[in-house]
Amino acid sequence: MHVEDIVEIIKKHLHINHENIKWGIIGVTELIKCPLRLWFEDKEQPIMTRQMYYGDLCHKALFTRLHPFTLSHIMYIEPELVYPVWCNGKNIHVIGRPDIVAIGNGKLKVIEVKFANVIVPEYFKQVAVYKLLARNKYWFKKEDTEGYIMQITDDGEIRIHKVEEEVDEEWIWYRACQLYEYFEKNEQPPPEKGDHCKYCPYRGRCTSKTLDEWEK
Ligand code: SF4
């Protein structure tokens, strides 16, 4: 075996596949990302950053320890939330797994844990979608549903961010149909610029700006 063969194997494992979208299954983490970034992840050479690995590993380590402590009917660890959407006669499913859903004092609390030094706006949108999906599943009113990001920094500090942001059902419907159509028709989406671009590993290849422009 040559080193080149090993590189090819590693590349395969780094690939972030979004084929599920064209089969009508869309994850909440896909719903809230820039569609062009998803496209790059799916079609182009993958870029898996150290930060992505780190977050993934820490997450697995924490939740393996938390699972035995799940108290059913009070705290759910990574519950599956499903939201069906009709798109041009096709039944699409938006699926989310928030880290923790807890019920107490008449409130439903959705908590997303992020091992990160920086909290990007996408995380707030992610929790906003989880809030809507969770209150649908557990039959809670909007005013009784709360969302939080629990940030764990590299030096172990825990910071809590309350998520006031909300999304409506129309937005989920519109976004899910839009993504489904891009992937189903194999059509490259346009760039969706925003603060999130600063953390996008594809910004050097993105058509919205050159790398030099992002660096300014
Ligand atoms: S740089 Fe911004 S607009 Fe371009 S792919 Fe990345 S997130 Fe999307």
Residue 163 Cα distances to 110, 111, 125, 139, angstroms: 10, 10, 9, 20
pLDDT in tens, the chain (216 residues): 889 888 888 777 777 789 899 999 999 999 999 999 999 988 876 666 777 777 888 888 887 877 766 655 577 888 999 999 999 888 999 999 999 999 888 999 999 999 989 898 899 999 999 999 999 999 999 999 999 999 999 898 999 999 999 999 999 999 999 999 999 999 999 999 888 888 888 888 786 654 455 454
Report how far ligand 1's centroid is from the alpha carbon of 108 (Å).
34
- Domain tally for the chain? 1
> The domain that contains 44 carries what CATH number?
3.90.320.10
- The finding on whether 35 has its CB within 6 A of some atom of ligand 1 is no
Type of residue numbered 105: N
Is residue 210 in a domain?
A: no
Q: Which atom of ligand 1 is nearest to the CA of 191?
A: 3
Least Cα distance to 19 among 37, 41, 36, 34 occurs for 41
Is residue 52 in a domain?
A: yes
Q: Which atom of ligand 1 is nearest to the CA of 35?
A: 8
Is residue 153 in a domain?
A: yes
Round to whole Å and give the CA distance between 116 and 76. 23
Containing structural domain, residue 57: 3-191
Is residue 34 in a domain?
A: yes
Rg (CA), the chain: 18
Report pTM.
Answer: 0.87
Is residue 123 in a domain?
A: yes
Is residue 96 in a domain?
A: yes
Is residue 198 in a domain?
A: no
Is residue 158 in a domain?
A: yes
Report how far ligand 1's centroid is from the alpha carbon of 215 (Å).
14
